[in-house]
Amino acid sequence: MAGDNPDSNLILHGDLDSKSSNDAAQHGLSVRAPSLPPPFDLCRKPVPQVPAVNSPPRKIITSDPYVTVCLAGARVARTRIISNSQNPVWEEHFKIPLAHPVSQVEFEVKDNDVFGADLIGIAILPAKRIASGELIDEWFPVIGSNGKPPKPDTAIRLQMTFIPCQQNPIYLNGISEDYGLEKSYFPLRHGGKDGVMQTHDEETRKFFKHSSVTCVLSPRYASSKLSIFKQQACFILCCWNSVYSPSECVIVDTQGHGNNRKITSFIGGLDLCDGRYDTPEHRLFCDLDTVFKDDFHNPTFPPGKKGPRQPWHDLHCKLEGPAAYDVLKNFEQRWRKATKWSEFGQKFKRISHWHDDALLKIERISWIISPSTTVPNDHPLLWVSEEDDPENWHVQVFRSIDSGSLKGFPKNVHAADAQNLVWAKNLVIDRSIQMAYIQAIRSAQHFIYIENQYFLGSSYAWPSYKNAGADNLIPMELALKIASKIRAKERFTVYVVIPMWPEGAPESASVQEILYWQGQTMQMMYDIIAREIKSSQLENAHPTDYLNFYCLGNREECNEEESKANGQPASNGNTDTASKKFGRFMIYVHAKGMIVDDEYVILGSANINQRSMAGSRDTEIAMGAYQPHYTWTKKKEHPRGQVYGYRMSLWAEHIGKIEGCFNEPEDLDCVRYVNNVAEENWMGYTAEEYTPLQGHILKYPVEVSAEGKVNSLPGYENFPDVGGKVLGAPTSLPDALTT
């Protein structure tokens, strides 16, 4: 789609295709420059000099150029650096998903430096020309900051074509029998089965000390290819999230065919640490002295408080078949990176706990079925179900990770492209999780259901602050999907379940800033939906007919004796005292999953924020799966497979019952029923007198007007009992820490 927005910008919604080569018949994004200036003399032609007799030849220092592609201030692609070159030829291939309101696309030519980069100049393409879909293959002038070329005839050759979403067959027919993310490091696997932040990592190491378990903490390394300042920034970001990288996975051997064993993997949101165990009842105060006696966790309150326990809601899955071995490969690559210093440590006898040889070579164990030189990864020998089995699954593993966090990525740009990886400056990145979300959202035909610990992104379109750098496309893609369905006069609904506030004290600077980003994201989405409703002249339609946010909470009625036994007596109006007094607290949503049309599910460790989706920040792992015998294409009607059953089980827990309207989540009747329960539960949750709730679903405490304006609910500008503004507030913290 290339639609208009109120600022007279075009919304480029589609893919900037980039299969480029020297052959002009193959289009894409190919960049090359005939002549760039030396770094400290940008505008003067070089003067030929005759070298002195018998003097050794001098190395001429020129530029270390690279190119970034920017839309609305968001960098969407970046080439490799070509060292010491005045005539660079990148010939790099990109396939860039776009969902940006822009008037032009900028190609910034920069000179890399140890302390950052200097801008050489910018080549500009009008958005209207790109939106036309024509094949573009020509030289464009590079203009410096003074409005002139840094050197006469400085130019860059660009080859590209744009394919709007509505013209791309990948997105038009939902989930096909061989649906998968084409540009992904791990391909779609057949014959599978799918069962559907504080990490205390040093405590984990101590727990396994002197046991038969080898525990290696996996730091989020900053690549040595980054500038000095960027390396330090990466280290700081990692420390804020602990040195453990949050791509939660467990891999075990399980019973296979006959006497053989097979690999089974578990991935999702659950951390292997304290405070994660819970039941569908999500108890607050009951059983604090029994079941939860040694497993109390609630970071909202200062240490030493005894209640309420923070309830925990999460999503996790089991993978069997070829995809399980992709999870194993990810672990092996990360292990080898984490133990890269072992030889150095052993040499100096300073690091005794590193054991590089502890990594088992599965292919050498004859009784464990595994890929080998004769058995490829998707070989039927690894399958756990046949293709004609109605309960068969197709599964694909996705990641957010870069070459700074694993060992095994290619060392040159063309090899990286062949493995569907992104080369950005001098870093190799796998950001297939974000790409999988984008493709699934674009392919959705009826509804989307999301549960996620965070929900922020597309900051280039935020109303009040566009420079946060949270440029992931997911919120914008959701809003544009809804807008396209409104335009087509088709029903479509998005349900989003998030925690009432991010983990921690709601009044703290970090939590308030995250809530502010979340509010900006909501406002951006509702603006787009409200404008489309108005443009389509839909009477009596409201933005919440299409998009809604919910949180989860619980109330318990405990008698005075139980309260004294499980906690401290009320005094001085402490924040936890109010929760005890009213017997209520939020259920922390730590899940990271999305269900599309009851036929496709994405589930893993990735949040919907920039940290998880960038690929060069937090490391994450996820899977996308569907049952080929239970798709809209196969059934010609609403599929009722295990993905449908999984959503219904989640809704039964959250809403407290199952209604017939749940079978058609996109219908307005279903939306209104869920909203009505959520609103009544919010009133019951906030009432002074104990009121039992129907399930746990609550309306997220914001009010959306018909014009799309987002405000906190009247009377609830702050969260009940614990304080903190519902819509947050900007702070002086670096944006990168909270996006």
Greater pLDDT, 698 or 366: 698
Residue 350's pLDDT is 53
- Reported as type and span, the H/E element at residue 512 is helix 509-535
Residue 374's pLDDT is 67
Residue with tokens 């920017």: 70
Q: Where are the alpha helices (DSSP H) in 687-730?
A: none
Domain 2-40+61-167 sits in CATH 3.30.360.10: no
Q: How far apart are CA 597 and CA 57, in angstroms?
A: 67
In a 3-state reduction of DSSP, which class is residue 651? helix
In a 3-state reduction of DSSP, which class is residue 646? helix
Residue 28's pLDDT is 43
Within 10 A of 208 (CB to CB), how many other CB atoms are there? 13
The per-residue pLDDT for range 523-564, each reduced to its tens digit, is 999 999 999 999 999 999 999 999 999 999 999 986 655 555
Q: How far apart are CA 206 and CA 215, in angstroms?
A: 9
CB 26 within 8 Å of CB 495 = no
Within 10 A of 181 (CB to CB), how many other CB atoms are there? 22
In a 3-state reduction of DSSP, which class is residue 702? strand
Enumerate the β-bridge partners of residue 669: none
- Reported as type and span, the H/E element at residue 683 is helix 668-686
Query: Is the confidence at residue 168, as pLDDT, over 70?
Result: yes
Residue 381's pLDDT is 82
Got the DSSP string for 260-329? -EEEEEEEES--SSTT----TT--SSTTTTTTTTT----TTS-TT-------EE--EEEEESHHHHHHHH
| Strand ranges for 147-277 from DSSP E | 155-164, 189-195, 249-255, 261-268
Residue 238's pLDDT is 29
Q: Residue type for 658, please? A: I
Enumerate the β-bridge partners of residue 10: 4, 102
CB 12 within 8 Å of CB 71 = yes
Got the DSSP string for 602-620? EEES--BSHHHHSSSSS-E
**Vertex 308, ends 288 and 293: CA angle to 5°?**
20
In a 3-state reduction of DSSP, which class is residue 699? strand
Q: Residue type for 645, please? A: G
Residue 580's pLDDT is 85
Residue 578's pLDDT is 85
Q: Residue type for 546, please? A: Y
Within 10 A of 210 (CB to CB), how many other CB atoms are there? 6
In the numeric block, which tokens belong to residue 315? 């999503």
Q: How far apart are CA 167 and CA 131, in angstroms?
A: 12
Once rounded to an integer, what is the mean pLDDT over residues 437-456?
98
Residue 33's pLDDT is 56
CB 65 within 8 Å of CB 111 = yes
**Vertex 316, ends 358 and 277: CA angle to 5°?**
90
In the numeric block, which tokens belong to residue 110? 């920069």
Inter-axis angle of helices 474-487 and 509-535, nearest 10: 20
Distance (Å) of CA 19 to CA 100, 134, 139, 150, 443: 21, 15, 18, 30, 22
Q: How far apart are CA 138 and CA 135, in angstroms?
A: 10
Query: Is the confidence at residue 234, as pLDDT, over 80?
Result: no
Question: Best-predicted range by mean pLDDT among 145-159, 272-286, 438-452?
Answer: 438-452
Query: Is the confidence at residue 705, as pLDDT, over 50?
Result: yes
Mean pLDDT of the chain: 83
Enumerate the β-bridge partners of residue 192: 393
What pTM was estimated for this model as a whole?
0.87
Question: What's 58's DSSP letter?
Answer: P
CB 597 within 8 Å of CB 446 = yes
Q: How far apart are CA 719 and CA 715, in angstroms?
A: 10
Residue with tokens 């309960």: 391
Residue 41's pLDDT is 32
* Half-sphere exposure of residue 483: CA atoms within 13 angstroms, side-chain side: 27
The per-residue pLDDT for range 273-330, each reduced to its tens digit, is 666 677 788 888 777 676 666 667 777 887 766 778 888 899 999 999 999 999 999 9
CA dihedral 440, 316, 421, 117 (to 10 degrees): 100
Residue 291's pLDDT is 65
b/e for 267-305, b at 16 or more Cβ within 10 A? bbbbbebebbebeeebbbbbebeeebeeebbbebbeeeb
Q: How far apart are CA 337 and CA 408, in angstroms?
A: 9
Q: How far apart are CA 216 and CA 244, in angstroms?
A: 10
Query: Is the confidence at residue 44, as pLDDT, over 80?
Result: no
Query: Is the confidence at residue 477, as pLDDT, over 80?
Result: yes
CB 156 within 8 Å of CB 91 = no
Q: For the chain, give the percent of residues with pLDDT over 90.
A: 56
Q: How far apart are CA 532 and CA 5, in angstroms?
A: 10
Query: Is the confidence at residue 49, as pLDDT, over 90?
Result: no
Q: How far apart are CA 713 and CA 420, in angstroms?
A: 45
- Reported as type and span, the H/E element at residue 13 is strand 10-17
Query: Is the confidence at residue 199, as pLDDT, over 90?
Result: no
Residue ranges per structural domain of the chain: 2-40+61-167
The per-residue pLDDT for range 649-698, each reduced to its tens digit, is 999 999 999 999 999 999 999 999 999 999 999 999 999 999 999 999 99
Query: Is the confidence at residue 712, as pLDDT, over 80?
Result: yes
Residue with tokens 């009008």: 126
In a 3-state reduction of DSSP, which class is residue 43? coil
Got the DSSP string for 569-636? PP-TT-HHHHHHHHTEEEPEE--EEEEETTTEEEEES--BSHHHHSSSSS-EEEEEEE-TTSSHHHHS
Residue 357's pLDDT is 62
Q: How far apart are CA 400 and CA 566, in angstroms?
A: 42
Least confident range of 208-222, 331-345, 697-711: 208-222
The per-residue pLDDT for range 582-633, each reduced to its tens digit, is 999 999 999 999 999 999 999 999 999 999 999 999 999 999 999 999 999 8
Least confident range of 118-122, 358-362, 421-425, 542-546: 358-362
In the numeric block, which tokens belong to residue 633? 């294409």
Within 10 A of 262 (CB to CB), how many other CB atoms are there? 20
CB 13 within 8 Å of CB 98 = yes
